[in-house]
Amino acid sequence: MKSKKKTKAGLLSGMIVLIICAVVWVLPILLVFMNSFKQNTFVKTDTFGLPAGESAAGLANYIKGVTFGDYPFGKSVTYSVTITILSTILILLFASMAAWYIVRVNNKFCKIMYYVFVFSMVVPFQMVMFTLAKTADTLKLNTPFTIPIIYLGFGAGLAVFMFTGFIKGLPLEIEEAAAIDGCNPLATFFMVVLPMLKPTMISVGILEIMWIWNDYLLPYLVLDRTEYMTIPIHIQYLQGSYGTVDLGAIMALITLSIIPVIIFYLTCQKYIIKGVAAGAVKG
């Protein structure tokens, strides 16, 4: 009886802690959502109040945020989607191929390369951002169609780490059977290995999409802001005359930018858990 009571008390205390953590994490999102429906003045003076009465702005903030300035918001959405999709495809394709080569060849060079990929995960972006910006300009990587190459370099570390952990658990006999049937290494990877990587492929893709979609600093440093703006950069430039900022319109655009990510994450979160477990436990 005592052990059951202790178990129930432990579960209850754990649940309380998790509820508190959930409130702490969700509260900023709720505040952004509430303030997106308030007049600009009340966003500053009554941040925690509900949008009611004279403080309510309806959809005016959303309309103003989308139509404000000379740079179309739809163009920013297009560039963000383009960069996110292209970068994620590159990371998934090349990181999975690199991880497969590292695991199956497994010589000294591959081990060194693996640790280089892992080490890249702990290098702060601030250490390389100025050199990176100069290199991107020199190599003409400062457009939405070339910046995915830079994202490949920064996203490959985590992706290779997760893919190698999963590939170590795949039976080598399947690949040997494919080779006996006449498959070359490239055909073996795309026809045999790649379909088996689906759980980790999905989880890595979700993590990379959320990172790239919300990234502000890399596009800000690399892209020509007079021609190309992603959504985070567009929000940052939502200013009026003399540097005045309409917080209500900013909150509206932030809401529009995070809703797709939240829906995407809630839909695919089970794949993240499966993929991380599969890639981290093995090997």
CA distance 62 to 253: 7
pLDDT at 160: 93
* Best CA proximity match to 153, nearest among 123, 198, 183: 123
pLDDT at 146: 93
The mean pLDDT value for 62-76 works out to 84
Per-residue pLDDT tens over the stretch 35-63? 888 888 888 888 888 888 888 888 888 88
End-to-end Cα distance, the chain: 41
> If you compute the radius of gyration of the chain from its CA atoms, what whole number of angstroms results?
23
Q: Is it the case that residue 282 has pLDDT exceeding 80?
A: no
Per-residue pLDDT tens over the stretch 139-170? 888 899 999 999 998 999 999 998 998 888 88
Residue 138's Cβ-count burial label (10 Å; 0-12, 13-18, 19+) is: exposed
Look at 85 and 22; give whichever has higher pLDDT. 85
Domain 70-281 has what CATH class?
Answer: mainly alpha
Residue 208's Cβ-count burial label (10 Å; 0-12, 13-18, 19+) is: buried
Give the pLDDT band (50/70/90) at residue 134.
confident
pLDDT at 267: 81
Per-residue pLDDT tens over the stretch 263-276? 887 887 777 666 65
pTM for the predicted model, two decimal places? 0.84
Q: Domains of the chain: which residue ranges?
A: 2-63, 70-281
Cβ atoms 28, 48 nearer than 8 A: no
